[in-house]
Copies of this chain bind each other. A is one copy, B any other.
Amino acid sequence: MLIERPKPITEQVDSLIRQRIRDHTYAPGGRLPSEQELADELGVSRTTVRSALTTLAAERLIIRRQGDGTYVNQRMREVNSQLGGLWDFSNIIQNSGYQTTVQTLYVKYRPADEHAANRLNIPPGVSVLELVRLFFADAQPVVYSTNVIAGKWLAQTESDYETKLALHNFLARYCNQEIAYVISDIGATLPDAETARILQRETDSPLLNFSEIFYNEDNQALALGNNFYDEKRLRLRLIQPWG
């Protein structure tokens, strides 16, 4: 059923260069081989290499200087998030140098309430899967997370889900859906007693609140997120490319 297709060369080049930056084959602040050298090494055209480099430069992972060369942006080590990944808490914790642990508080089907139904564009009352989890950075609870997935996306109504997956992996495995983009509301709130208890926090210490809707390429709402992030425990530092 599943067709295995070779990934586009540009993506492979993109991945390869990312890998080499991660493992310091290209050192932080160091210089990459020239575009022509990369093209020769990999046996592809310079245009293909440039396509990959353009993506990396857009994220500011590399910096290109005309007449000079292409360099690894060492400042990326200081951040733990980029704008496309502001909802991927496992990754943020990992990027901060901590071990990510996920504790599943509960996972269950329930009828969609008015609010969820509206945002997911489904009739109220139909079944949705609710996934409530707690993310730890090493031993410290950092994010109290609720995700709601519209039942129509779930292939089978099984109950032995691997609940520690990041949401995009969960949607990929159980719904065969890819996230194309996310719309997030960012807020600052004082936690209620329950939230404070779970995060082992006082109720007078404000938390970041992220409320998200996840969409696929066809603009269909896949899932919701509501997350309380304790930025006193884990700094949230992101890079924003401009222009």
Contact = CB atoms under 8 A, between A and B. Distances in A.
B236 A63 contact: no
A83, A187, A241 interface centre (most CB from chain B within 10 Å): A83
A185 B92 CA distance: 13
A41 interface: no
Given A58-B58, A63-B217, A215-B75, A184 B240 contact: yes
A82 B182 CA distance: 11
A82, A183, A235 interface centre (most CB from chain B within 10 Å): A183
A188 interface: yes
B243 A178 contact: yes
| Number of copies of this chain that the complex holds | 2
A65 B217 CA distance: 9
Interface string A65-83: 1000000011100110011
B206 A188 contact: yes
Contacts of A243: 84, 178-180
A183 B84 contact: no
A136 interface: no
Contact of A86 (B83, B180, B185, B189): B83
A156 interface: no
A73 to B, nearest CB: 7
A232 to B, nearest CB: 8
Given A75-B219, A183-B240, A188-B208, 11 more contacts: A63-B180, A65-B217, A180-B241, A181-B239, A184-B239, A184-B240, A185-B236, A187-B208, A187-B232, A188-B207, A190-B204
Interface of A: 58, 60, 63, 65, 73-75, 78-79, 82-87, 168, 178-190, 204, 206-209, 215, 217, 219, 231-232, 235-243
18 contacts: A58-B58, A60-B180, A60-B181, A63-B217, A63-B219, A65-B217, A73-B219, A83-B83, A84-B242, A85-B240, A86-B240, A179-B242, A180-B243, A183-B238, A184-B237, A184-B239, A186-B208, A188-B206
